[in-house]
Amino acid sequence: MPHPREPRPPTRPDGDLAFDWEAVLQVRAQIDHPDPDWPHVVAGIRAPTLVVWGGPSSPMPSEHVRELAETVVDGRLVRIDAGHLVHASQPAVFTAVVRGFLALPD
């Protein structure tokens, strides 16, 4: 669940970028000052939802990730000790977890 935090404006990397820098700034603004209605939006999700957390080396606090999984009606939390970029750090484990989740019966 998004929680307000001390803004930490990112520094734009030098040179041409393979992504839209303005999108980074917009996302960071939402991360630093999330809409207070987020809990209501998340509570309205009715589809089974997989929440993957990267473990203690992730910058996402465990209590916030747990709160997200518990707020979704059918949220399921999985921990993969891989840091923030779980899909890149542990691609085989991440893929297995997602495939297992998708294979669950309705």
**DSSP SS3 for 15:** coil
pLDDT at 78: 98
Instruction: Report yes or no: 69 and 39 within 8 Å, Cβ to Cβ.
Output: no
- Residue pLDDT, tens place only, 18-46: 999 999 999 988 888 888 998 999 999 99
**Phi/psi of residue 34, each to 5°?**
-65, 150
Whether residue 76 is contained in a domain is answered as yes
Domain total for the chain?
A: 1
Beta bridge partners of 79: 53
- Residue pLDDT, tens place only, 57-101: 998 899 999 999 999 999 999 999 999 999 999 999 999 999 999
pLDDT at 70: 95
Say what the pTM is.
0.79
Q: What does the block give as tokens for 86?
A: 């779980």
Q: What does the block give as tokens for 104?
A: 């669950």
Per DSSP, helices labelled H in 1-106 are 21-32, 38-43, 62-71, 86-89, 91-103
Return the CATH number at 60: 3.40.50.1820
Whether residue 5 is contained in a domain is answered as no
pLDDT at 76: 97
Boundaries of domain holding 44:
21-103
